[in-house]
């Protein structure tokens, strides 16, 4: 994943406070009789040894300062968590190493190949960590350390993100979701606000309704025949998951529920991708030359009010404030196919634990992962504009209508889509988008090429 990817750049890891569970008092998430062991009892069980136990934590530089408020260094927050965890677990010696967004996944791969991976590392769905390392058998399942109360605290979208096969491998910490950002000023200028689904509770709408809104906001300011403002934007470079989303919202998906077969060539997914390509090539409601447009180019056009609608996350609001001419932004759900339910791109970030040889150390690493991701500590993710993965963390954006809306939309995220997206290299997704947008390949042919890659990865 590239450093620049719109969503990936806003993620990281952190937390404080203790909520551990002992190996003797633990039940798996599927147990009918979850453990009632207290956190203090659990802490005691994992700190029986007086010998210092080293734990390597690798994270990305997503926030600065102890509290993530920007006042400090990019590893301060993680080092603070390590310090506070040690207060409850004196034998824990946690060291923190920062990964680079551009090469972090490669560094992890190299460490795994060398047989010396970190103990605990932060990852997100579309990095494909749970799938890739779970398939390789180099991760510790967290099921024996999850209590029923943990499992019940996660939404279905989060649950789907942390599993590979029959096992859960990620301690979820945050969730993200994207919708459609709307330039309300442009819609008012075109007297087209009635075409937006703003009066619906989830602000959901169909492909046909989205197209009508895009056509109404594609125009030439001076009255010429060639538009200089477009209703939406279609691009092929960087963050390509947005461009494939219509396959999901049309009722398809990249892989099946069992995560062992590609479904990307199914008729519904294919028709959804055809709709994306048609927005640019047939309906011409997107800027021409989409094959060469990047996600950054798309955002620049939106900020310059040359595009009325584009998929993005709430972080965009801060960028709009700094635009050449700030404007009002609204958010709505991604459009969906006729008779299809609402679906959204979502991402879940959390911590995976690599294989441990020592049982005492394994327990301690799992305790630390739980510590970082408990309901209180997870609230810090507000500092990076994301949402806690645990429902019990509550609405950390109370009083903020935009973030409250996105929190509701996150319930419609499809983690199967985002997790399977990580099976294919970003460059391959981009290459096929470029081929479709230039007319070099038909949609079904490009999806057939991706299908071959997916089937190989799923073997």
Partnered with residue 56 across adjacent β-strands are 95
pLDDT band at 30 (very low <50, low <70, confident <90, very high): very low
Dihedral angle, C-alpha 436, 439, 445, 446, nearest 10 °: -20
Q: Containing H/E element for 40?
A: helix 39-45
Tokens read off for 441: 């390949």
pLDDT band at 357 (very low <50, low <70, confident <90, very high): very high
Given this model, what pLDDT does residue 48 score?
54
pLDDT at 353 over 90: yes
Query: Tens digits of per-residue pLDDT, 37-79?
Result: 333 334 334 445 678 999 999 999 888 898 888 889 999 989 9
Backbone φ, ψ for residue 333 (5° rounding): -75, 155
pTM here?
A: 0.80
d(CA 333, CA 346): 12
**What is the distance of C-alpha 244 from the center of its chain?**
15
Rounded Cα distance between 168 and 154, Å, is 12
- Residue 229: beta bridge partners? 219
State the chain's mean pLDDT as an integer: 87
CB-based contact 81:65 (threshold 8 Å): no
Strand partners, 414: none
Closest CA to 421 of 128, 7, 11, 105: 128
Per DSSP, the three-state class of 229 is strand
What 40-44 contacts at long range (C-beta under 8 Å, 24+ apart), as own/partner pairs, is 42/367, 43/18, 43/88, 43/89, 43/367
Model confidence pLDDT, tens digit, residues 379-426:
988 888 889 999 999 989 988 999 999 989 988 988 889 888 878 888
User: Is the pLDDT at 115 greater than 90, yes or no?
Assistant: yes
Exposed, middle or buried: residue 252 (CB in 10 Å: 0-12, 13-18, 19+)?
buried
pLDDT reported for residue 211: 98
Query: Which residue has tokens 């080092």?
Result: 79
């Amino acid at each position: 994943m590239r450093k620049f990817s719109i969503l990936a750049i806003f993620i990281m890891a952190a937390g404080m406070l203790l909520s551990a569970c002992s190996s003797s008092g633990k039940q798996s998430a599927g147990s009918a009789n979850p453990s009632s062991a207290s956190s203090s009892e659990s802490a005691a069980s994992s700190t029986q040894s007086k010998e210092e136990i080293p734990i390597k934590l690798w994270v990305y530089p997503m926030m600065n300062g102890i509290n993530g408020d920007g006042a400090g260094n990019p590893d301060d927050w993680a080092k603070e968590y390590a310090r506070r965890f040690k207060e409850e677990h004196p034998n824990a010696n946690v060291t923190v190493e920062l990964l680079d967004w551009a090469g972090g996944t490669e560094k992890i791969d190299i460490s795994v190949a060398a047989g010396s991976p970190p103990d605990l590392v932060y990852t997100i769905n579309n990095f494909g960590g749970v799938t890739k390392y779970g398939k390789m058998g180099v991760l510790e399942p967290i099921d024996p350390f999850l209590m029923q109360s943990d499992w019940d605290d996660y939404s279905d979208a989060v649950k789907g993100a942390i599993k590979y096969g029959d096992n859960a491998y990620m301690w979820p910490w945050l969730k993200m979701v994207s919708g459609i950002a709307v330039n309300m000023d442009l819609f008012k200028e075109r007297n087209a606000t009635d075409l937006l689904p703003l009066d619906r509770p989830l602000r959901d709408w169909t492909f046909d309704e989205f197209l009508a809104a895009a056509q109404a906001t594609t125009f030439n300011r001076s009255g010429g025949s060639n538009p200089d403002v477009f209703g939406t934007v279609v691009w092929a470079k960087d963050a390509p998951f947005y461009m494939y989303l219509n396959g999901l919202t049309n009722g398809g998906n990249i892989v099946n529920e069992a995560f062992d077969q590609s479904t990307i060539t199914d008729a519904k997914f294919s028709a959804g991708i055809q709709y994306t390509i048609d927005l640019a090539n047939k309906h011409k409601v997107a800027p021409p030359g989409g094959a060469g447009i990047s996600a950054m180019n798309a955002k620049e056009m939106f900020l310059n009010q040359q595009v009325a609608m584009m998929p993005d996350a709430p972080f965009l609001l801060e960028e709009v404030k700094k635009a050449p001419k700030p404007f009002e932004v609204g958010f709505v759900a991604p459009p969906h196919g006729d008779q299809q339910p609402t679906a959204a791109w979502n991402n879940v970030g959390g911590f995976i634990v690599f294989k441990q040889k020592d049982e005492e150390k394994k327990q301690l690493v799992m305790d630390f992962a739980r510590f970082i991701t408990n309901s209180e500590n997870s609230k810090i993710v507000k500092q990076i504009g994301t949402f806690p993965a645990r429902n019990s963390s509550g609405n950390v954006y109370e009083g903020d209508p935009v973030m409250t809306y996105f929190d509701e939309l996150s319930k419609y995220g499809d983690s199967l889509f985002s997790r399977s997206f990580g099976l294919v290299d970003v460059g391959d997704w981009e290459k096929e988008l470029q081929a479709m947008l230039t007319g070099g390949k038909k949609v079904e042919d490009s999806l057939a090429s991706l299908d071959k890659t997916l089937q190989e990865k799923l073997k």
